Amino acid sequence: MSETTRIDPTAMGLLFIGFILFVVGIFGIDMSNKIDTMYIGGGVFAVALFGAFALTFVAVYAYKAGSSFGATVFGWVAVSMFLLAALGRIFDNTFSIDLSEAWFLWIIVGIFYLIFTAWSLLAKAPKLLAGVLFFVALVFMIFGLALYSGTTADNSETYFLIGGICSLIGFILSTYLGFALTGATKMPVA
């Protein structure tokens, strides 16, 4: 009988997060330019739903690989992606409240990402992971401010642009770290 080794799913999870951040970044930039957002808007919420399911599996595999930190962080990312999909009205017939008006949920999710950023630094995880979590926190909080009803249209566009740029920075960091952790390259991981 041959022995099998458990594979750490961290690289796969980071690449999924990078893909989601890329789409969210394009969405934010699109929202700031007043381009037709029906196509990209619907796409970002579909990607969030797909990403939520995928990252749920990554969290389970991280747990099975013995990484409670990875399971917790990927599990939280999956929950926040389900929330993002709900805010995009993917679950319209399921919930009786209008989640698209719940700007404060975006900010609360961002605060949790800041907590995970601090935890990653305390857990001596790669600094790039802390960077990814920090930029994701910024994206959620900035999009929450953009959706706040007291925000003017011009400020909202600016918030979406800044959130989109933060998301694209998170995409670069997450994708780099994901490829670096595959072990197939000699890329440094700080």
Q: Answer yes or no: is pLDDT of 32 > 70.
A: yes
CA distance 17 to 78: 10
What is the model's pLDDT at position 92?
A: 58
- How much is the pTM? 0.84
Residue 30: predicted pLDDT:
81
Q: What is the pLDDT of residues 46-99, one digit of tens each?
A: 888 888 899 999 999 989 888 888 889 999 899 988 887 776 665 555 555 555
What pLDDT sits at residue 148?
Answer: 79
Q: How far apart are CA 182 and CA 93, in angstroms?
A: 40
Cα separation, 169 vs 190, in Å, equals: 17
Within a 10 A sphere around the Cβ of 67, how many other Cβ atoms? Answer: 18
Q: Is the pLDDT of residue 5 over 70?
A: no
d(CA 34, CA 30): 6
Q: Closest Cα partner for 177 from 32, 10, 54?
A: 10
Rounded CA-CA distance 144/159 in Å is 9
Query: Is the pLDDT at 22 greater than 90, yes or no?
Result: yes
Task: Give the model confidence (pLDDT) of 123-148 as tens digits.
Answer: 888 899 999 999 999 999 998 888 77
Asked whether the predicted pLDDT for residue 114 surpasses 90, the reply is: yes
Res 95: pLDDT? 52
At 179-190, the pLDDT tens digits run 888 876 666 766
